[in-house]
Amino acid sequence: MPPGSLSKRKGVDVNEHQSQYVIVGGSAAGMAAAHTIRAKDVRGTITVLSEEPDVPYFRPLIPFLVSGQKQPEDMALTGSGPYMGADIAVKTGARVAACDPDSRSLTLEDGTCYGYEKVLFATGSRPYVPPEIEGTGAEGVFALRTLADARSMAARAARTAHAVMLGGGLLNLKAAFALLERGVKVTLVVYSPEVLSQLMDPEDAYLVRKALDDAGLTIHTGASATAIQSDPSGVTGVALDNGEELACQMVCIGKGVRPNVEFLQGSGVAVDGGIVADRFTAASRPDTYAAGDVAVTHDPISGAPIMTALWTNAVEMGRCAGMNMAGIKTAYTGTFGILNATQVADEPFVAMGVVHTRSGDYEIHRRATATTFRKLVFDPGGNRLVGAVFVGDIRNAGLYRYVIRERMDVTGFKPAIIDHTLHYGHFIC
């Protein structure tokens, strides 16, 4: 059906648009796929449907909008680095309400319909707000996920003396430091015995914890919020399960995410938590694909199904999906259950593969100095590296990632791994 023609779907007159490739979601995976398709197919029409009002942007940078170090125009994806493709139509404010794979069409909330030949679902995830916490709808409660969230948070920070962050994940820590830079007192409340509990065991996080303490962040461990208190001006405090109450004017909730899959109800696209994708990023219906936070892929170490909300994984999977959509069959190598390289409070760290070892049968090597920490995790036989944590000194972390991902037998160069002298020469047979 030609662009702009009218059709009737489910009793509603809609504007029909046709595109060879339609991508639902304008963040890391979706935009990586769009630009990969354009590099391989210079003629095909590509349409990206993004529910956000803003043009696609680098989501990891949004804490810098809160701190005032960056403006929205500094975060734009298009025309930056790998996002140089031309002739990609991006429609903002376009929330998909339903998908009909039989007729190869998507219906937006406003009734507009988009036909496609191939479609990628890269709808990402949304913050999880625990229902047991009362008062989460109060003004001044945030779950930092979008540029719009960051704008609102930055505006609220101007009249905030104390902010409470619920959850000790990476994004909440970055939001906390953005507020600290603005002179706001920040208290982090985590139920776990230590921060970054998903990325490392508590005993391995001491250098990161010291850096947070030195930076002025107040941390309450072993506690959780039961209610957020408010008045007509918004948030006034947080009640904890230990009976303590923290007076504050802002709350940021970082309790994980949930995939955006509701629009697929009744479509026949297989969903198991997220959208089930095979090794070639294909979903269960013909010419449908999934990538990014919303996709269920596999862990290259264990082979188990897995979902992660990491930008770098989303980009890699999006590129793979783009290749497959353009007709170049490309296998996705898998997503580490844990793979993160960043820094908090000027303390760089890398965590990848198996890092939680309390309940497993592993060979573990730890080395620590006053400024560095290193943990290497081998399989029970000691012949394969399956995980690593580096804090302070993260040199050559990419080599260790390669060894883990390729499931290499390290018998011939294991001492170099343990002594942190691994180099490319060890991979030459």
In the chain, where the domains are located: 6-126+258-325, 141-255, 354-427
Mean pLDDT of 186-194: 90
Could you tell me which residues come within 8 angstroms of residue 351 by beta carbon, excluding any fewer than 6 positions away? 196, 199, 200, 338, 339, 340, 388, 389
pLDDT given for residue 264 in this prediction = 97
CATH class label, 6-126+258-325: alpha beta
pLDDT given for residue 165 in this prediction = 96
Q: Is the pLDDT of residue 61 over 80?
A: yes
Read off the pTM. 0.85
pLDDT given for residue 17 in this prediction = 78
pLDDT given for residue 91 in this prediction = 94
Candidate from 11-15, 56-60, 164-168 with smallest mean pLDDT: 11-15
Mean pLDDT of 374-382: 94
Mean pLDDT is highest, among 65-69, 339-343, 353-357, for: 65-69
pLDDT given for residue 5 in this prediction = 32
CATH architecture of 354-427: 2-Layer Sandwich (3.30)
CATH of 141-255, one of 3.50.50.60, 3.40.50.970, 3.30.750.24, 3.30.420.40: 3.50.50.60
Per-residue pLDDT of 100-112, as tens digits, reads 999 999 999 999 9
Q: Which residue has the tokens 């343990």?
A: 418
Q: Is the pLDDT of residue 355 over 60?
A: yes
* Other CB atoms within 10 A of residue 388 CB: 24
User: When comparing pLDDT for 283 and 297, which is higher?
Assistant: 283
Q: Do domains 141-255 and 354-427 have the same CATH topology?
A: no
Beta strand spans in 330-419 (E): 339-344, 347-353, 363-368, 373-378, 385-391
